[in-house]
Structures are given as C-alpha cells and as structure tokens.
C-alpha cells in the first residue's frame, strides 16, 4: 500500500470542485430506472446509457470519479475503448462497486448487513487489472421502532472496515458508505442521533483494522428528516445539523467526504451541499457522490431514444456543473433556471 498514492487518488476524486458520479446501479435497480422511461433494460441499452453519461463533453471538469458496476467495468465505448481506460485517461477516475448488497440480519427483524467479503481480495485484484482505482461498499442503516440496534451498527461497521483494509492492501481507495436511510417518519433530530452512532461505530472499526484515513473517502448521508415526516426540516437546518455531526465525528485525517443523495431531488441535494460549503473551508473536502441526483435529469431527457443522446448529455453537464459550484460554495438556487 502506497499511502501517498491512495491519498492522491482520493483527492483527485473530491478536490478542486470535483465529485463522483455513482453509475453503479445493479441490473435490477437500473431496470427500475429504465421502466420509468419505458426503455428496455438490455445489455446494449445499459451500455449506451452509460456511454452517454461518460462521454459528456466537459464532464471531466466537474467529475473526478465514476463508480461502475461489474457489467459496466467490462464494457467499452462505441469506438472500442474500455470504459475504465476512457475514464481514467480523462481524469475521471474509474471505481467499482464491490459489495453484494444488504441482506436481512439474522435475528434482528427490520435490519440488514451488507455481504460480499468472501473472495473480495481476489475480486479486487481482478478489478485493478481492469482499471479500477477505487471501490465502494454501502452499509444500510434503517431507522424505526427500536432500530437500529447497537449490534446492527457494529456488524455493518465491522464489514466496512474489513472491506476498507482489503482495498488499501490492494492499492485501491475505499469509499466507506454508512447510509442512514431517510425512509420513515422520523425527525431530523432522530436522524442526527443515529448518524452520530453509525459514524462512531465506523471510525472505531476503521481504527481497529488499521485503515489509513488519509486514503479513504467517506460517503455519508446528510442529516435530514424522514421522507414521511409530518414536518420536514428546511435546507438551512439540514446543512447546520449535518455540519455539526461531521465536525464532531469525522477525523481531520480523512481525505474527502462525498455525500450520497439518498432519495433527495437533484435540486435539494445540490442546495444542501452548497449551503454547507458556504461555511467552509473544512479539514476535508466536502463533495458529492450522487447517483439519481446527477442522473435523473439525464435519464429523463434521454428516454432510451438515440435522438435525445445530446439532450441527455446536456442535462448531466448542467447537474455536474451546479454540484461543482455547490462544492465550491458558489451555488445559488437561481442557477437552476439559467442555461447550463
């Protein structure tokens, strides 16, 4: 493990106003996305959709990393250039989702633990050969009556730390993603409480596993009201609560923080990020690692129609640019109605 190289990769993904495009939807998930636009989820359509995103002119100015799915990392552009090589050559560092999904945690109803550690060392070696320079593992924390339990938080933090240690051994930057879901009717205060507990468990396990924090990217949720809450906190309160938690829980050694959007609209995710960065600078980069919040407008513009290829790219470019401005603390909501 070369810590300087890991740190350089992590900073390349999250510094200078750049963030990460999460394009690592599993086959069932991207089928759901395609169903919303009446597009068939074939291998050819998935490849073409991802090609539309990756080949957007100017995207590399705002996107420092792209998370790929196993199918995608083995695909190529229409010109025959493997996607990882195409992305890496542009400075949009190629990464790979390596977890096998959240599964029911036996004995703990309503809770999950993410699987995928078996064989991970060998899979990482293969992904490095294919061009991956970072990886992603997502833990899923549910808020509900009497959950999350302390054991669930520990089990997921332990798995995240084992994954992160294996990544760094392989020379790969781990994105450490403990997502406290916004599903539910809980208050922003309850989300803050659970997020603190989740991050506390994660950093305790990372330390125990001797993971170098300078060579990771943390991908947390924002502290936000449940999606079904009777009264939802406004943008300023979300930004304030999230910063409060990060300043208390995230060691300064961490290279970068790249938020997940977690069910927020594209505009909400950008506004919240922008408000936080207006209070910077921070010890770590405060960036984005969005899936739907970057892709949804592009998917809607494309709609599986080759005639809309350029329109899809325009939509992605606009969102990438606005999130970059939010990362720099220069975003204004009025920019949403301005030309990209």
Distances (CA, A) of 135 to 111, 132, 217: 24, 7, 10
Active-site residue flag, 237: no
pLDDT, average across residues 113-130? 98
> Tokens 């208050």 belong to which residue?
187
Which of these is catalytic: 18, 136, 219, 318?
219
Q: For residue 339, what pLDDT is reported? A: 54
Residue 327 structure tokens: 């990362």
- Only one residue has tokens 């990438």, namely 320
Number of Cα atoms under 13 Å in the Cβ half of residue 27: 7
Q: How confident is the model at residue 13 (pLDDT cuts 50, 70, 90)?
A: very high
Place of tokens 């300064």: 252
Determine the Cα–Cα distance for residues 91 and 74; give it in Å rounded to an integer: 19
Q: pTM of the entire structure?
A: 0.96
| CB environment 276-307: b (16+ within 10 A), e (fewer) | bbeeeeeebbbbbbbbbbbbbbbbebbebeee
By three-state DSSP, how is residue 67 classified?
strand
Q: At what angle do helices 292-302 and 266-277 cross, to 10 degrees?
A: 140
Task: Tell me whether strands 102-104 and 112-114 are parallel, antiparallel or unpaired.
Answer: antiparallel
Per-residue confidence (pLDDT) for residue 241, from 0 to 100: 98
> What is the dotted CATH code of the domain comprising 3-337?
3.20.20.70
The residue annotated as part of the active site, out of 25, 177, 179, 285, is 177
3-state secondary structure of 33: helix
Average pLDDT over every residue of 192-201: 98
pLDDT at residue 302 is higher than 70: yes
| 310-334 tens-digit pLDDT | 999 999 999 999 999 999 999 999 9
Instruction: Say whether 219 is catalytic.
Output: yes
Place of tokens 């890991």: 6
């Amino acid at each position: 493990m070369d810590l300087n190289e890991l740190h350089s990769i992590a900073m390349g993904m999250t510094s200078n106003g750049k963030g990460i495009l999460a394009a690592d939807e599993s086959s069932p998930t991207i089928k759901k996305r395609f169903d919303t636009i009446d597009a068939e989820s074939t291998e050819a359509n998935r490849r073409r959709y991802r090609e539309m995103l990756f080949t957007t002119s100017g995207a590399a100015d705002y996107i420092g990393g792209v998370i790929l799915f196993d199918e995608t990392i083995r695909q190529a552009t229409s010109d025959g250039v493997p996607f990882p090589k195409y992305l890496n050559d542009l400075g949009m560092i190629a990464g790979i989702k390596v977890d096998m999904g959240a599964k029911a945690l036996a004995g703990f109803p309503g809770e999950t633990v993410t699987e995928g550690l078996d064989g991970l060392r060998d899979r990482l070696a293969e992904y490095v050969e294919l061009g991956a320079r970072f990886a992603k593992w997502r833990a899923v924390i549910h808020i509900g009556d009497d959950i999350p339990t302390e054991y669930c938080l520990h089990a997921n933090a332990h798995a995240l730390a084992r994954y992160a240690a294996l990544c760094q051994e392989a020379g790969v930057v781990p994105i450490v993603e403990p997502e406290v879901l916004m599903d539910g009717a809980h208050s922003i205060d309850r989300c803050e409480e659970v997020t603190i507990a989740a991050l506390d468990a994660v950093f305790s396990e990372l330390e125990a596993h001797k993971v170098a924090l300078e060579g990771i990217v943390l991908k947390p949720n924002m502290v936000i009201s449940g999606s079904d809450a009777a009264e939802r906190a406004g943008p300023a309160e979300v930004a304030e609560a999230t910063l409060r938690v990060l300043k208390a829980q995230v060691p300064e050694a961490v290279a970068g923080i790249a938020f997940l959007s977690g069910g927020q609209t594209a505009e909400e995710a950008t506004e919240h990020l922008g408000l936080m960065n207006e209070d910077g600078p921070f010890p770590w980069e405060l960036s984005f690692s969005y899936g739907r919040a970057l892709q949804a407008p592009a998917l809607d513009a494309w709609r599986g129609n080759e005639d809309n290829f350029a329109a899809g790219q325009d939509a992605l470019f606009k969102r990438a640019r606005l999130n970059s401005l939010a990362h720099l603390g220069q975003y204004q909501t009025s920019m949403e109605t301005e030309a990209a």
